[in-house]
Amino acid sequence: MTDDTPNDDTPAPLADTPPDRLSATPGTPFYDEAILSRGIGIRFNGVERTTVEEYCVSEGWVRLTVGKSRDRRGNPITLKQSGTVEPWFKDIAG
């Protein structure tokens, strides 16, 4: 008798829409290396931004890095700004 249920070791297929919230900092609950490896583009208030460390579409905010400044743990200093957040996957944008 065969079991047609999927094996827990098989990765789930990735959706074509980015998640509502995502972080580029390992160790946070919203970090996902598989999604980040696809490449995420962020348009914030109509302008494409490349310095986004974390975003949340439903709450309408992004965390942007501030220059090359680092905190005492070596993490980039960020600034939280509110506005319209539009994420997309770079691998399917073309």
pLDDT for the residue numbered 81? 97
pLDDT for the residue numbered 61? 97
Q: What's the chain look like in SS3?
A: CCCCCCCCCCCCCCCCCCCCEEECCCCCCCECHHHHHHCEEEEECCEEECCEEEEECCCCEEEEEEEEEECCCCCEEEEEEECCEEEEECCCCC
Domain locations in the chain as residue ranges? 21-89
pLDDT higher than 70, residue 11: no
pLDDT higher than 80, residue 52: yes
Kindly report the average pLDDT of the chain as a whole number. 87
